[in-house]
Amino acid sequence: MKLWKLLGIAAFAGVAASGVVAARNQRRRAAYTPDEIRERLHARLAEASRSE
C-alpha cells in the first residue's frame, strides 16, 4: 500500500512539473510581438532553405 501512495505522489509531482514547464513556455511565447514572430519565422525558413 505504501508503494502505491509513493507512486501516486510521484505521478502527481510529474504532472505538476509538466504544467509549470508548459505555462512558462506559453508566457515566453506570448511575450513576442507580431513583428518578432514574423522575423523568427523568416529566419527559420531561410535556415531550412539553406539546409536542403
Q: What's the domain range around 35? A: 24-52
Nearest to 41 by CA among 27, 26, 29, 24: 29
Report yes or no on 52 lying in a domain: yes
- What per-residue confidence (pLDDT) applies to 29? 81
pLDDT in tens, 13-35: 999 999 999 998 888 888 888 89
C-alpha cell at 10: 510521484
Report yes or no on 47 lying in a domain: yes
Report yes or no on 18 lying in a domain: no
Q: How many domains does the chain have?
A: 1
* Cα-based distances in Å from 15 to 8, 9, 21: 11, 10, 10
- What per-residue confidence (pLDDT) applies to 12? 93
Contacts 24+ apart (CB under 8 A), 23-30: none
pLDDT in tens, 30-50: 888 889 999 999 999 999 998
Other C-beta atoms closer than 10 Å to the C-beta of 22 total: 10
